[in-house]
Amino acid sequence: MHRSLDEINERIARGEAVVLTAEEAARLREAEGVKSVSKKVDVVTTGTFGMMCSSGLFLNTGHTDPPSRFQRAFLNDVEAYGGIAAVDLYLGATQVSQSNPEYGGAHVIEALLRGEPVRFRAEGARSDCYPRGSVEGEITLRNLNQAFLFNPRNLYQNYAAATNSSSRVLYTYMGKLLPGYGNVMYATSGELSPLLKDPNLRTVGIGTKLFLGGAIGYVAWEGTQFNANPKRDAAGVPITPGATLALVGNLKEMSPDFLRAAYIPGYGVSMFLGIGLAIPLLDEDLAETASRPDSQLKTVVLDYGVARRQRPVVGEFSYRELKSGWVEIMGKRARTGSRTSMRISRQVALTLKSWIKEGRFSLSQFTRPLPVEGRSLPWEV
Partner 1 sequence: MKLFLHFPKEIVDKPIITALIKELGVEVNILRAKVTQNEDGEMVADIGPDPDRAISWLKAQGVIVAPLSEKIVKHEELCVDCGSCSGVCPSGALSMGADDRLVFDSDKCIFCLFCLDACPTRALEALE
CB 346 within 8 A of CB 21: yes
Give the integer Cα–Cα distance in Å for 71 and 66.
16
Give the integer Cα–Cα distance in Å for 289 and 297.
10
Question: Of 221 and 267, which has the nearer Cβ to partner 1?
Answer: 267
Which residues, numbered 193-252, are part of the site for partner 1 (CB under 8 A)? Answer: none
Considering only 33, 325, 359, 369, the residue that binds partner 1 (CB under 8 A) is: 325
Phi-psi region of 180 (alpha: psi -120 to 50; beta: other; left: phi over 0): left
Which residues, numbered 252-271, are part of the site for partner 1 (CB under 8 A)? Answer: 260-265, 270
Least Å from the CB of residue 93 to partner 1: 13
Of residues 324, 287, 300, the one with CA closest to residue 35: 287
Question: Of 155 and 363, which has the nearer Cβ to partner 1?
Answer: 155
Question: Of 72 and 320, which has the nearer Cβ to partner 1?
Answer: 320
Please enumerate in sequence order all residues whose Cβ is within 8 A of that of 259, keeping only pairs 6 or more positions apart, or say none: 109, 110, 113, 213, 214, 271, 272, 273, 274
Question: Could you say which of 31, 129, 372, 381 is catalytic?
Answer: 129
- Residues in the interface with partner 1 (CB under 8 A) total 33
**Is 67 a binder of partner 1 (CB under 8 A)?**
no
Please enumerate in sequence order all residues whose Cβ is within 8 A of that of 11, keeping only pairs 6 or more positions apart, or say none: 17, 42
Least Å from the CB of residue 19 to partner 1: 21
CB 202 within 8 A of CB 370: no
Considering only 51, 212, 348, 349, the residue that binds partner 1 (CB under 8 A) is: 51
Going from the C-alpha of 130 to that of each of 4, 59, 322, the distances in angstroms are 54, 19, 56
**Is 101 a binder of partner 1 (CB under 8 A)?**
no
Considering only 119, 132, 323, 357, the residue that binds partner 1 (CB under 8 A) is: 323
Considering only 14, 308, 343, 372, the residue that binds partner 1 (CB under 8 A) is: 343
Of residues 164, 154, 151, 243, the one with CA closest to residue 196: 243
Least Å from the CB of residue 325 to partner 1: 6
Mark residues 138-157: x for contact with partner 1 by CB under 8 A, - for none: --------------------
Mark residues 177-196: x for contact with partner 1 by CB under 8 A, - for none: -x---xxxx-----------
Least Å from the CB of residue 294 to partner 1: 12
Q: If 0-12 CB within 10 Å is exposed, 13-18 middle and 19+ buried, where does residue 104 land?
A: buried
Question: Of 240 and 347, which has the nearer Cβ to partner 1?
Answer: 347
Question: Of 335 and 368, which has the nearer Cβ to partner 1?
Answer: 335
Question: Of 9 and 340, which has the nearer Cβ to partner 1?
Answer: 340
Three-state DSSP state, 182: coil
Three-state DSSP state, 299: strand
Active site residue 129: yes
Span from 66-74, 119-127, 218-226, 343-351 in contact with partner 1 (CB under 8 A): 343-351
DSSP string, 217-285: EEEEEEPTT--S---B-TTS-BSS----EEEEEEGGG--GGGEEEEEETTTEEEEEEEEE-EEE--SHH
Catalytic site positions: 129
What is the binding site for partner 1 (CB under 8 A)?
A: 49-51, 102, 171, 175-176, 178, 182-185, 260-265, 270, 272, 323, 325, 335-344, 346
